[in-house]
Structure 1
Amino acid sequence: MDIFEALSSRYSYRQEFLNQEIPEGDIRKIVAAGLKAPSGCNCQSTSFVIVTEGSLRKTIAEILPSKVTRTASVILVILTEKIVTPTGQTFELEDYGAAVENILLAVTALGYATVWLDGMLKLDGKAEKIHRLLSVPQEKTVRAILPIGVPRETGAPREKKRWEERVVYNKYEKGTGQF
């Protein structure tokens, strides 16, 4: 699958996965896609925990209960580290967003499915629970999880707004706020 096909067919999968393992070679390709993402000032502030052990996956599913977390073959935990550049900037949010998007496209290209889960991590200390469970070093933050597996059912991307609603060339028409 080429990049444009992956972009057009990627969707957020929220159903049960098949009980089928993902080969180690594919896991490595998926994570390598995240490692190849651009990074502000080349700080490379994003890192990953690949969770394949059944008891750890089960505990994560108890912390974040959903069909995808209960049935995923792999749960990829996305971590960031706050690295301050010489100019005083940090890019961990941008870095992790770019890494996750690369991973989403790699998952799609290889025929697997996932969903980007981060909002629910912010509730009730869930990110901190996963942080402790996985013995994540203190300087790293749990930002997101990606439950990955073989989809039980096919899905489709959600409808996006029309080009004209989101894109303008050069500048907005003066005073209208319109395209």
Structure 2
Amino acid sequence: MDLFEAFKKRHSYRKDFTDEKVSRYMLEKIVEAGILAPSGKNEQTTQFVVVDDEEKVKEIASISGGRKAFHTASAYIVCLIDREPEPILKDMNFQVEDCAAAVENMLLAVTSFGLASVWIDGWLRVEGRNEKVCEILGIPKNKIARVILPIGYPAEKPEGPEKLGINERASFNTYDLS
């Protein structure tokens, strides 16, 4: 799939997945796409836990509160950052940004394989879900699960929302957008 075609086709898929399992090869390539993302000062801080064990997938799905993508996903990729990141430039760190770049690369890889996913972030930050996911996966206390991607073959044709055109979102040399 052409890169710009992947940009156009990628969207958040929150519906059911089929029963077909995502191959370990595809999961490895998706994570490799995340690893290849840029990171602040090349610190490469984002870590990944790939979950394709059926029992662990079911255990994570059980805390999802009925979300379709969670209950029918073949696998998850959990993106980890430090709970208390050290500054790497003055008083700043870039772990959230690094994670976001990795996630977008992975979502494009997901799309290129004909798979679908949805970026789950806020859901992890409420009702103790982060701690539950970390406990299920044996993630150490100094890390947090920042993003989780449920991944599978879409049961319905994925169609994303219409995007505004370049003239509505960008201008050259000065701000000229109303």
TM-score range, shorter chain: over 0.9
Look up the equivalent residue of 2:9 and give its one-letter code: S
Match of 1:67 in 2: 68
Match of 1:115 in 2: 118
8 Å contact kept, 2:15–2:156: yes
Distance in 2 of aligned mates of 1:158 and 1:165? 16
Shift of 1:52: 1.0
Write the deviation string for residues 56-80 of structure 1: whole angstroms up to 9, x where unpaired: 1112112123111111111111111
Matched, 1:50 2:50: yes
Distance in 2 of aligned mates of 1:124 and 1:26? 32
What is the identity percentage for the equivalent residue pairs of Structure 1 and Structure 2? 43
SS of the equivalent of 1:19 reads coil
8 Å contact kept, 1:15–1:68: yes
Match of 2:40 in 1: 40
With normalisation by structure 1, the TM-score equals 0.92
Match of 1:25 in 2: 25
Match of 1:147 in 2: 150
Distance in 2 of aligned mates of 1:22 and 1:172? 44
Aligned residue-pair number: 175
Aligned-pair Cα RMSD in Å: 1.4
Q: Which runs of 4+ in 1 moved over 3 A?
A: none
Write the deviation string for residues 100-150 of structure 1: whole angstroms up to 9, x where unpaired: 000000000011110111111111111111112211112211101100001
Match of 1:101 in 2: 104
Distance in 2 of aligned mates of 1:147 and 1:138? 23
Rg (Cα) greater in structure: 1
8 Å contact kept, 2:116–2:158: no
Look up the equivalent residue of 2:64 and give its one-letter code: L
Shift of 1:165: 2.6
Shift of 1:86: 5.2
Match of 2:161 in 1: 158
8 Å contact kept, 2:15–2:69: yes
Shift of 1:55: 1.7
Write the deviation string for residues 1-28 of structure 1: whole angstroms up to 9, x where unpaired: 0111100111111111110111111111
